[in-house]
Structure 1
């Protein structure tokens, strides 16, 4: 895989585009050489965007959440294979979580639907969670009872039905592709698959087809194509462990005191939660490089810890 940029710079400027309109632009530049070279890249990109008449945004269904170019991410760690080839990198994303980036193992995220209003509230005003646990209010439930994974197939309404359908879909996928290894994990709001043996590049049509067969999240598939790597969050979303939101890299360096203090708060708050729970592992054994990726992933997400998912 291609190395992640080691240096980032951000340029914010209001420019006049052809036609006379003014655009407030925030443009990121990257470089493997130096911060100064990243600043030059950002400035050149700003000039190209302005000359082209501004940026094209897709706002329907939230598709602008994932940009058509990488955003600044702090490089935390690189993993090399037996022949010293780069096979994975861990970066910190825009809201602060550590993320695995790799092209050696196909990673697919599948989201569950949110419960509908009728799933959440009964005619008498009590929620489904309350009815399941003897009329107690949600704040009176234990963490395990509030954990989405604690319900599994017993989740209320549409979410439980979607859970069951998705597991059946994954089973169909495994039957259709006996040549692939499939590790199935439960996440807080869905499932994650680590698929070995595919040889599919992240931006390839084969990857798109395989992820489509398990109805992988569309925005996630866009992100994989943009980064040309599969991605998997390794640590909790900060707001799920009651930590303030991370300010994206690009406005400061990772050595700044405010940055390091946030990382320490986040690390402490993340100690008693997990990101995934391993449900099953089927198919042929992974090759040595794929196993390296799986081992790195599992050390981070703590899939057999039994801890609350976040």
Structure 2
């Protein structure tokens, strides 16, 4: 897992087979800007060699924060470093904890009807319409039923899903039940559960995990974690958890100095002013709140170290703070 402190970019203009090429590659380092520049030059020369050998090559590294598909580490400002645990500031200004081996999974609440329920409602409305049309000889009833099924089926499915969720105790109870079922299937697990603004966060305390391993990916899937997050874990070789509020949830305008880190020197002052205002406002909020712990109670020292850092940054035990 790499969240480098220093970044640079190298450019190479060339011609090949009668065509002009401008190749750009990023370089990175935890040592110095000079080392990052040397790495960028090394990578752009490697791209040039590929062009000469194969006749074509990707022109640029795309400027996005998570670019594991192109072999790039996370492009974010490093705010703090605790051994190999990195606190970075993401593209919209919130702080994120990045760890190479302690598993986090955010699970959003979902009250939307599944495709199966929507299809069942559609088929039921259509079936009733067909039956009425056959019994009465009024073919227009089937046409009317088809229109109702198409236009109203999803709404009916949503209402039925919402009713079912309420009867089961609400979205949080359902999410907790899903996690409890995972623990029942894997009794060696020890999972700490936190409440986030839109769901739950799970922290595995019993063991460390390699993010790209089948074991970690299977656990993320069982917990119901976002597939995009699971891919990020695999590509970037790390787990992540947001540990400060989202700006728009605390009345702070979105950061106007956007784009991948590092920003241009002339824009640093504006970015720093935004960060200062954001951090003042963030003092009144928590990123998540501790709910419960499930499983074996086995704790690895590595996970405990990360938990203390996470809980302190998120301010999980101050019940007076609003989640954001």
User: Is TM more than 0.5 here?
Assistant: yes
Distance verdict in 2 for CA 1:285–1:198, change over 3 Å: closer
Measured after TM superposition, the shift of residue 268 of structure 1 is 0.9
Match of 2:269 among 257, 261, 278: 257
- Pair 1:270-2:274 in alignment: no
Match of 2:305 among 263, 284, 292: 292
Measured after TM superposition, the shift of residue 169 of structure 1 is 1.1
Measured after TM superposition, the shift of residue 47 of structure 1 is 5.3
For normalisation by structure 1, the TM-score amounts to: 0.70
Distance 2:316 2:185 in 1: 26
- Written as runs of structure 1 = structure 2, the 5 A alignment for 1:155-194 is 163-194=172-203
Distance 1:88 1:205 in 2: 22
Native 8 Å contact 1:28 1:71 kept in 2: no
For normalisation by structure 2, the TM-score amounts to: 0.67
Distance 1:56 1:166 in 2: 42
Q: SS where residue 95 of structure 1 aligns?
A: coil
Structure 1, gaps ≥5 residues long: 58-63, 80-85, 117-154
Name the stretch that deviates more: 197-206 or 6-15: 6-15
Distance verdict in 2 for CA 1:111–1:215, change over 3 Å: same
Distance verdict in 2 for CA 1:21–1:239, change over 3 Å: farther
Q: SS where residue 5 of structure 1 aligns?
A: coil
Measured after TM superposition, the shift of residue 296 of structure 1 is 0.8
- Pair 1:244-2:254 in alignment: yes
Structure possessing the higher radius of gyration over alpha carbons: 2
- Written as runs of structure 1 = structure 2, the 5 A alignment for 1:115-126 is none
Native 8 Å contact 2:2 2:74 kept in 1: no
Q: SS where residue 53 of structure 1 aligns?
A: coil
What does residue 100 of structure 1 align with? 97
Q: Which has the higher helix share?
A: 2
> RMSD of the alignment, in Å?
3.6
Q: SS where residue 235 of structure 1 aligns?
A: coil
What does residue 216 of structure 1 align with? 225
Native 8 Å contact 1:181 1:197 kept in 2: yes
Distance verdict in 2 for CA 1:87–1:72, change over 3 Å: closer
Query: How many residue pairs align between the two structures?
Result: 259
Measured after TM superposition, the shift of residue 166 of structure 1 is 2.4
- Pair 1:36-2:25 in alignment: no
Measured after TM superposition, the shift of residue 219 of structure 1 is 1.0
